[in-house]
Structure 1
Amino acid sequence: MQKQSKIYIAGHNGLVGSAIKRKLEKSGYHNLVCRTSAELDLRNQVAVEEFFAHEGPEFVFLAAAKVGGIYANNTYPAEFIYDNLVIEANIIHAAYRHRVRKLLFLGSSCIYPKFAPQPMKEEHLLTGLLEPTNEPYAIAKIAGIKMCESYNRQYGTNYISVMPTNLYGPNDSFDPENSHVLPALIRRLHEAKIAARPVVEIWGTGSPRREFLYVDDLADACIFLMENYSYKEIGSFVNIGTGQDLTIRELAELIKGVVGYYGELRFNTEKPDGTPRKLLDVSRMRSLGWEAGTQLEDGLRMAYEWFKSQGG
């Protein structure tokens, strides 16, 4: 991937896509192609085909997806499976038809079985049942991995897939109902601080363990792979994370400190917890020479400052 290479970032306004765009620009890549969802509906196969025929990108970062937390996944399962399947199928097939040199597909750590051994290794894929609350989304992401793998095998393409752990940072969704746990907690605790509320309710027991990666670290990892490695060297896909986790209760306490909220955290044990633990084994990525550089508390402060800068 050269500085003048034509690079298409699908989903450039989202959490991951915007971080990849920032990192590419900072690294001197200047021939970037981006389209908003209003300009290009990635669920429309004809529109995607016409876009690739007209633009002819050499490299593709497939970061476009419909995402959300437990509430959103439970409420809109049909949208989560349909939108994600169609988006990835359209882009991967168009990339093949128009001779894209290399494509990177962004998956998710929810592809692993609910009770997978911890930490989760790449070979644990498809060894058990998925977490029911996000099964449609996970199945769509597994299909994306297998589609890249199949095109590589049949057509000799160079499509790589990465499975990031839970992400956070600038351009995240901070919606209190449809966002993931970390940004939802930032918003809820910030609003409780402003309103001087004595108690904040949090779903579940607080005991599930989660791993969190600052999104700019993920962008750095993705570009590192696109610049240096082919699918033959990394295998079907590679985990990207920090290799460290903490409980939701510990996360809430950390965010409470960053926000400066002094009230009580009350856990509603009648609400679902989701997967008990999700920690990635990142030894394969480390063996390639990459590690995450942002400590969680530093990342939380940057995410909170960004949230406030947006009028939060």
Structure 2
Amino acid sequence: MEKNSRIFVAGHRGMVGSAIVRTLEAYGYTNIVKVSSSELDLRRQAQVEEFFEKEKIEYVFLAAAKVGGIMANSNYPADFMYDNMILEMNVIKSSLDHQVKKLMFLGSSCIYPRMAPQPMKEDCLLTSELEKTNEAYALAKISGLKYCEYLNKQYKTDFISVMPTNLYGINDNYHPENSHVLPALLQRIHLAKKNNEPVVTIWGSGKPLREFLYADDLADACVYLMNHYSGNETVNIGTGKEIAINELAETIKKIVGYQGEIVYDLSKPDGTPRKLLDVSKLESLGWKYKTEISNGIKLVYEDYLINKEHHIR
């Protein structure tokens, strides 16, 4: 990418998209196209086609997505499948039709099988069944990845796919039902401290292992790969490290300064028992994460106290 290239960051108001914009700006890119969902509904094909015709986009970071945690994915699978599949297909197809030089599709580590060998290599995709609690979202993301792959084969496009691990960061989603595990825990433990509640109850056993990557590290990897990688194989983006949910909760408890007790509701689902990405391909391409999880949570909590807490009822 040239510093003045027309770069479209789809989903620029979300946690990942906003991190990509910050990173691009920090590296001196000056021609970033940002448009709100009220101005452009990516689920509407005609709007997307008109946008690409008008804006003459050269590079696309496709970070827009409907996302959520176990509860949201379980309760609204049809919405997660439709919204994600239709928006990604519209953006990718318009990128083809309007000769975009390069597109990066951001998937998710949930595309890999529930019981995939750990750590999960890129080639384990579609080797066995998916985790049922987020199957609809995963199927939509797999479709986007495969569409990029097929376009590369048929039309010789340069559309690459990356699979981030679990993410957290500035501008995260703290919705009580639709947020992911780390921001959900952060907010619940913070509110328990604020309201002098003696106990915080967490779904499941606390034993599942998860990998977490700070969103600004992801953004740095995305910009790096956009400039240094082309290929029809996806690239995992993560830390290669994992932490149990109960250890994560204790880390957050310490950073927040909560003095109460954390208990686990064994009647609720755990989700996938372990989900760690193999990041050897990413490291062989010359990139490695920078932010350790304790430092990242401190940064996120500072942002939460400044920008999010006053919205909580």
TM range (shorter): over 0.9
CA distance in 2, matches of 1:275, 1:311: 29
**Alignment partner, residue 104 of structure 1:** 104
Verify: 1:147 aligned to 2:147, yes or no.
yes
Q: Distance in 1 between matches of 2:54 and 2:21?
A: 21
Q: Which residue of 1 aligns with 2:256?
A: 259
Residue 269 of structure 2 corresponds to which residue in structure 1?
272
Partner of 1:72: 72
Q: Distance in 1 between matches of 2:85 and 2:229?
A: 26
Q: 1: distance between equivalents of 2:223 and 2:18?
A: 13
The equivalent residue for 2:135 is: 135
Amino acid at match of 1:258: I
Task: Name the structure 1 match of 2:21.
Answer: 21
3-state DSSP of counterpart to 1:200: strand
CA deviations on 1:171-201 (whole Å, 9 max, x unpaired) are 1101122100000000000000000100000
Q: How does 1:98-247 map to 2 (within 5 A)?
A: 98-231=98-231, 235-247=232-244
SS in 2 for 1:135: helix
In structure 1, what is the Cα distance between the partners aligned to 2:204 and 2:116? 21
Residue 236 of structure 1, CA deviation: 1.9
3-state SS in 1 of match to 2:264: strand
Aligned residue in 1 for 2:285: 288
Q: What is the distance in 2 between the residues matched to 1:80 and 1:171?
A: 21
Cα deviation 1:97-142 (Å, max 9, x = unaligned) = 0000000000000000000000000000000000000000000000
Distance in 1, matches of 2:118 and 2:163, equals: 15
The aligned amino acid for 2:300 is A
SS in 2 for 1:128: coil
1:304 to 2:301 alignment: yes
Letter in 2 for 1:162: V
Structure 2: how far apart are the matches of 1:176 and 1:209?
22
Deviations 1:40-73 (A, max 9, x none): 0000000000000000100000000000000100
Runs of 4+ in 1 over 2 A off after TM superposition: none
Report the RMSD for the aligned CA atoms in angstroms. Answer: 0.6
What CA distance in whole angstroms lies between the structure 1 residues aligned with 2:158 and 2:193?
A: 49
Supply the AA of the counterpart residue of 1:194: K
**Could you tell me how far apart the structure 2 residues matched to 1:116 and 1:140 are?**
19
Amino acid at match of 1:248: I
Per-residue displacement from partner, 1:185-225 (whole Å, max 9, x unpaired)? 00000000000100000000001000000000000000001
| Alignment check: 8 A CA contact 1:77 1:136 kept | yes
TM-score (norm 1): 0.98
Distance 2:229 2:284 in 1: 12
| Deviation of 1:311 (Å) | 4.0
Partner SS, residue 286 of structure 1: helix
Gapped runs of 5+ residues in structure 1? Answer: none
User: What is the one-letter code of the residue matched to 1:309?
Assistant: I
The alignment's TM-score, normalised by the length of structure 2, stands at: 0.98
Matched residue SS, 1:134: helix
Q: Structure 1 vs Structure 2: percent identity of aligned residues?
A: 61
1:145 and 1:236 in contact (8 A); partners too: no
